[in-house]
């Protein structure tokens, strides 16, 4: 089955700086890559996703890039704010199917 690796496991940045989280996947057939944010005491919430026919997607301060050849995808957060502090998870799956394979998470801390 699919294996998703995520780095780093923890990340601290100063407020206003950028944060980058990277994931690799093993199954070249994977075609859907969502990113989830999990705040303390809450379940994961989808923040952005990308499909394999797209190389980059942006939503305000958040962007995701996908390199199908290298089988890796990244989350970029610009102008970080304290409320961005949370655990971020990447995932991959082969649509149509909804068996998401998750990375181990990155704990992001934005220092005011």
User: Distance (Å, rounded) from C-alpha 80 to C-alpha 88?
Assistant: 14
Specify the stretch interacting with other proteins by CB under 8 A; choose among 14-22, 55-63, 77-85, 98-106: 98-106
Q: Spell out, one character per residue from 44 to 83, where the chain touches other proteins: x when CB under 8 A holds, - when not.
A: xxx--x----------------------------------
Kindly tell me the sign of the dihedral angle through the C-alpha atoms of 5, 10, 111, 89.
Answer: positive
Smallest separation (angstroms) from other proteins to the CB of 45: 7
| # residues contacting other proteins (CB under 8 A) | 23
**What strands, in cross-sheet order, belong to the sheet with 72-77?**
4-7, 19-25, 72-77, 62-67, 56-59
Per CB under 8 A, the list member of 41, 60, 70, 83 interacting with other proteins is 41
User: Distance (Å, rounded) from C-alpha 80 to C-alpha 71?
Assistant: 26
* Binding residues vs other proteins (CB under 8 A): 4, 9, 34, 36, 41-46, 49, 89, 95-105
């Amino acid at each position: 089955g699919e294996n998703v690796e995520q780095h780093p496991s923890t990340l601290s940045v100063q407020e206003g700086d950028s944060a980058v989280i990277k994931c690799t996947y093993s199954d070249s057939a994977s075609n859907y890559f969502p990113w989830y944010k999990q705040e303390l005491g809450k379940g994961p919430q989808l923040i952005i996703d990308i499909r394999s026919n797209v190389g980059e997607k942006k939503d305000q301060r958040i962007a995701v890039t996908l390199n199908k050849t290298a089988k890796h995808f990244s989350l970029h957060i610009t102008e970080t704010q304290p409320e961005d502090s949370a655990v971020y998870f990447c995932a991959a799956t082969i649509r149509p199917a909804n068996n998401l394979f998750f990375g181990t998470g990155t704990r992001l801390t934005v220092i005011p």
